[in-house]
Chains A and B, each alone.
Chain A
Amino acid sequence: MSKIRIGNNIRKLRFNQGELTQEQLAAKIGVTRQTIVAVEKGKYYPSLELAFQLSLGLNVSLVEVFFLEDDPQ
């Protein structure tokens, strides 16, 4: 099975949410700022639970936060 790469729009969405800082987003969903940094940079792929928490924290749907990079379709 080939490895898939997942991109995200967290930085853009934070900006759209009135320039929400990484610290504020982290506090909102109950994780550390370093985890937000790692997810935002694409270094760490969050669990499904955290992915949904991120989408709820940013007030958007999950597909607006994450997307498949090199999507074949």
Chain B
Amino acid sequence: MTFQEKKSLVNIVGALLLFGYFWLSVFPQHPPTVGTDAQTVLKFWGGTILWYVALSLAVHFALQFLTKILHTASTREQESSLMDERDRLFEMRVDRYSNFTFFSVFMLAMLLAALNAAPTVIFQGLMVGLLVSQVVGYVVQFYLYRRGH
């Protein structure tokens, strides 16, 4: 298995674990929909999403660093950090699928908002969209590197 394939798999696990932590520890702290002013609800979800995105980036870079060290230690091959035209092509394809997924979930969340769904449902839907778009991106990345073209 190549370094890029390992990196994709590790990132999938990392994204799922981080989301699991948010689902179990942070989401239950959301303010009750009834009897709470909209500003408090929006402040909670805005902060949660910002915190989630920041942690996602931190986890992504930390895992990338760890995978590189473990890959080098196990294969004794120094993995090049350069990106060539094939990597850029793959990155573009990954972005296309990932963005399409997020856009679809975003539109679904807006539909829920139009149908008077509770803010909790809308924001949780958006965060699930973030997770799914990340996972779709990593799966596509894994598939492309596995296939080789």
Query: What range describes how many residues of B lie at the interface?
Result: 10 to 19
B1-40 toward A: CB 8 Å interface, digit per residue (1/0)?
0101000000000000000000000000000000000000
Complex: chain A residue closest to B4, CB-CB = A34
CA distance in complex: A38, B90 (Å): 13
Is there an interface contact between A44 and B86, defined as CB atoms closer than 8 Å?
yes
Q: Does A31 contact B (CB under 8 A)?
A: yes
Which of A30, A31, A34 contacts B145 (CB under 8 A)? A34
Contact of B86 among A30, A34, A41, A49 (CB under 8 A): A34
Report whether B147 and A32 are in contact in the complex, using a CB–CB cutoff of 8 Å: no
Interface-forming stretch among B47-55, B77-85, B121-129, B132-140?
Answer: B77-85
Q: Nearest Cβ distance between residue A46 and chain B, in whole angstroms?
A: 7
**A6 part of interface (Cβ distance < 8 Å):** no
How far apart are the CA atoms of A35 and B84 in the complex, in Å?
8
Contact (Cβ within 8 A) A46 B85: yes
Contact B87 A38 (CB under 8 A): no
Residues of A within 8 A of B86 (CB): 31-32, 34-35, 38, 44
Complex Cα–Cα for A50 and B29 (A): 54
Identify the B interface with A (CB < 8 A): 2, 4, 80, 82, 84-87, 145, 147-149
